[in-house]
Amino acid sequence: MMQAILSPFAPALLALYYFILGVLALYGVHRLLLVAVYLRNRRNRPPTPAEPEVWPVVTVQLPLYNEMYVARRLIDAVCAIDYPRDRMEIQLLDDSTDETTEVVAERVAYYRGRGIDIHHLHRTDRSGFKAGALEAGTAVARGEFLAVFDADFVPRQNFLRDSVPFLVADPGLGMVQARWTHINRSYSLLTQVQAIMLDGHFVVEHTARHRGGCFFNFNGTAGIWRRQAIVDAGGWQHDTLTEDLDLSYRSQLAGWRFLYLPDLTAPSELPVDVNGFKSQQHRWARGSVQTGRKLLWRLMQADLPLRVKVEAFIHLTNNGAYPLMMVLSLLVFPAMVLRRGSPMELLLMVDLPLFVSATVSVLIFYAVSQLGAGDEENESCRRNLRFLPALMGLGIGLAVNNTPAVLGGLVKRGGVFERTPKYAIAQRGQSWVKKRYRSRLGLSVWIEGLLALYFLLCMVYALKVGMWLSLPFLYLFLQGYSYMFLLSVVPVLRRASKRNRPTTQSMKVESSQT
Active-site position among 94, 95, 246, 273: 95
pLDDT bin (cut points 50, 70, 90) of residue 136 is very high
Kindly indicate the confidence band of residue 239, based on its pLDDT and cuts at 50, 70 and 90.
very high
Distance separating alpha carbons of residues 101 and 112, to the nearest angstrom: 16
465 or 512: which leads in pLDDT: 465
Q: Is 8 exposed, middle or buried (0-12, 13-18, 19+ CB in 10 A)?
A: exposed
Contact predicate 138/57, CB 8 Å: no
**Of 5 and 142, more confident:** 142
List the catalytic residue out of 244, 246, 273, 351: 244
Q: What is the pLDDT of residue 174?
A: 98
H helix or E strand, kind and range, residue 159: helix 159-169
Residue 265 confidence (pLDDT) above 90:
yes
Query: Could you tell me the end-to-end alpha-carbon distance of the chain, in angstroms, rounded to an integer?
Result: 62
Q: What is the pLDDT of residue 196?
A: 94
| Upper half-sphere CA count for residue 171 (Cβ side, 13 Å) | 0
For 292-348, how does the pLDDT look when each residue is reduced to its tens digit (9 = 90+)?
A: 999 999 999 999 999 999 999 999 999 999 999 999 999 999 988 887 766 666 565
Crossing angle for the helix pair 444-465 and 399-411, to the nearest 10 degrees: 130
Mean pLDDT score of the chain: 89
SS3 for 337?
Answer: helix
Inform me whether the pLDDT recorded for 281 exceeds 80: yes
Instruction: Provide the 3-class DSSP secondary structure of residue 175.
Output: strand
Active site residue 152: no
**423-457: per-residue pLDDT in tens?**
888 877 777 767 777 666 678 899 999 999 999 99
pLDDT on residue 348: 59
151 in Cβ contact with 422 (< 8 Å): yes
pLDDT score at 80: 97
What does the pLDDT look like over 70-85, one tens digit per residue? 999 999 999 999 999 9
Q: Are 239 and 293 in contact (CB under 8 A)?
A: no
- CA separation (Å) from 445 to 120, 381, 482? 39, 32, 10
Highest mean pLDDT among 9-13, 262-266, 355-359, 495-499: 262-266
Residue 438 main-chain phi, psi, to 5 deg: -120, 130
Residue 7's pLDDT is: 77
Please tell me the distance from the alpha carbon of residue 455 to that of residue 469, in angstroms, as a whole number. Answer: 15
* Residue scoring higher pLDDT (501 or 67): 67
Q: Name the band, by pLDDT with cuts 50, 70 and 90, for residue 393.
A: confident
Residue 359 confidence (pLDDT): 81
Give the span between the Cα atoms of 194 and 208, in whole angstroms.
20
Q: Higher confidence at residue 89 or residue 395?
A: 89
Please report, rounded to a whole number, the percentage of residues in the chain having pLDDT higher than 70: 90
Does the pLDDT value for residue 375 go beyond 80? no
- 150 catalytic residue (yes or no): no
Q: What is the dihedral of CA 303, 307, 313, 317, to 10 degrees?
A: -170
- Which comes out higher in pLDDT, residue 491 or 113? 113
Residue 90, helix vs strand vs coil:
strand
Give the pLDDT band of residue 504 (cuts 50, 70, 90).
Answer: very low
3-state secondary structure 111-145: HHCCCCEEEEEECCCCCCHHHHHHHHHHHHCCCCE
What is the side-by-side order of every strand in the sheet holding 117-122?
117-122, 88-94, 58-64, 145-148, 223-226, 173-182, 257-268
Q: What is the pLDDT of residue 487?
A: 83
What is the residue type of 107? R
Q: Is 144 exposed, middle or buried (0-12, 13-18, 19+ CB in 10 A)?
A: middle
The mean pLDDT value for 127-146 works out to 96
The number of angstroms, rounded, from the C-alpha of 233 to the middle of its chain's C-alpha atoms is 24
What are the pLDDT digits (tens) for 172-197? Answer: 999 999 999 999 999 999 999 999 99
**pLDDT at residue 505, as a whole number:** 47
Name residue 367's amino acid.
Answer: A
Q: Residue 213's pLDDT band (boundaries 50, 70, 90)?
A: very high
Closest to 422 (Cα-Cα) out of 412, 407, 432: 432
User: pLDDT-based confidence at 506, cuts 50/70/90?
Assistant: very low
The string of DSSP letters for 9-61 reads GHHHHHHHHHHHHHHHHHHHHHHHHHHHHHHHHTT-PPPPPPPPSSPPPEEEE
For the stretch 150-178, pLDDT in tens is 999 999 999 999 999 999 999 999 999 99
Highest-pLDDT range among 20-24, 206-210, 345-349, 462-466: 206-210
CA distance 500 to 188: 27
Q: Is it the case that residue 476 has pLDDT exceeding 60? A: yes
Is the pLDDT confidence value at 513 over 50?
Answer: no
- Enter the DSSP assignment of 433: T
